[in-house]
Amino acid sequence: MRVMAIDIGTNSTLDLTADVRGSRLKVVERGIVRNRLGADVGEDGMLSGELLDYNRSILADLAAKAQKLGCERIGAVGTHALRRAVNAGEFTRIAEYCGVPMEVISDTEEARLAWQGVFDIYQTDAPRWISKADASHPLALLDVGGGSTELSVGDIKKLQSSESIPIGGVALGRRFFRHDPPAASEIQAALEHVHEAFADWKGYMGNLRRLVGIAGSIYALACLTHSVTGFHPGAVEGRTLTNEAVNKWRERLLKMDLLKRRALPSMPPARAESIHAGALIVREILEITGIAVMTTSERGLLYGLAMKLASD
């Protein structure tokens, strides 16, 4: 069955068109567009009329794209930005009017769909990077988004627990970075905030076999580290991202302004505005948890949602 899954995040709206059969998924097309939700939502949590109209256009374009590609089903989920928006219901009504059924999901459901999207493939077509040892040991999944960060733990077959902290690259940059590139005092304040927020994750990894990283900031760091230009399905799937490499990019990105970040050959265009803050978060989490290396995956929430759409 051909489906289109849409993830309405804090920084971007992502879409995945795929042919799905069980947990086998073949990518037809992927897309991303900046939705301005994290940057432009008011302090009172209200989505302005202008912002709603802007996203109405995005959703209408996606509905037309789904029809053109022959999708049998289409569905969308809203995450952190819409969870905190006072008038998220109006956004949902607009989406449905455009022909895009959607729901605002909890952080628990977000973690569950992401886990399913990464690991359910093991049941039928295990990726090369998943070993036999992985199948019998606990694993962790790290999702650093624009507005929140989730760390989930489980095994190949089942998510056991997850924790969500309302800190992401867009939200952190918006709160602490007043200059571009940010001043040393702003960086220090952001570091202290992140370290305090994630302090309880110290030793969280325990006897876990592997940490898998997904979503925007981690995907962008993998592209930069491995010189991946453009989007090619599978290009960063199963790649490694070391603490050392993340630290190198964090230091470099925090010294660049937006124009220089955008000019990097391997920078995904939609990630340039918040990648320096995202890299700061990823580095601190690796330091706090004591993880030296993680595996990166392109799969996650979109893939889990696509499989759900095909099975409903």
What percentage of the chain exceeds 70 in pLDDT?
A: 92
Instruction: State the pLDDT at residue 133.
Output: 67
For 139-148, what is the mean pLDDT? 89
Do 272 and 258 form a contact (C-beta atoms < 8 A)? yes
- Asked if pLDDT for residue 62 goes beyond 80, the answer is yes
Q: In the predicted model, what is the mean pLDDT of the chain? A: 89
Q: How is domain 126-296 classified at the CATH fold level?
A: Nucleotidyltransferase; domain 5 (3.30.420)
Instruction: State the pLDDT at residue 1.
Output: 95
Is the pTM higher than 0.85? The answer reads: yes
Do 15 and 5 form a contact (C-beta atoms < 8 A)? yes
Do 11 and 35 form a contact (C-beta atoms < 8 A)? yes
For 78-91, what is the mean pLDDT? 91
Do 99 and 281 form a contact (C-beta atoms < 8 A)? no
Residues of CATH 3.30.420.40 domain(s) within the chain? 2-108+302-311
**What is the CATH number assigned to the segment(s) 2-108+302-311?**
3.30.420.40
What percentage of the chain exceeds 90 in pLDDT?
A: 59
The tokens describing 71, both together, are: 């999708």
Instruction: Give the amino acid at 262.
Output: R
Q: Name the H helices within 198-242.
A: 216-225
Q: Which residue has the tokens 């459901």?
A: 109
Residues of CATH 3.30.420.150 domain(s) within the chain? 126-296
161-205 residue pLDDT tens: 888 998 999 889 989 999 999 999 999 999 999 999 998 887 666
For 135-142, what is the mean pLDDT? 82
Instruction: State the pLDDT at residue 88.
Output: 92
27-53 residue pLDDT tens: 999 998 988 887 666 567 788 889 999
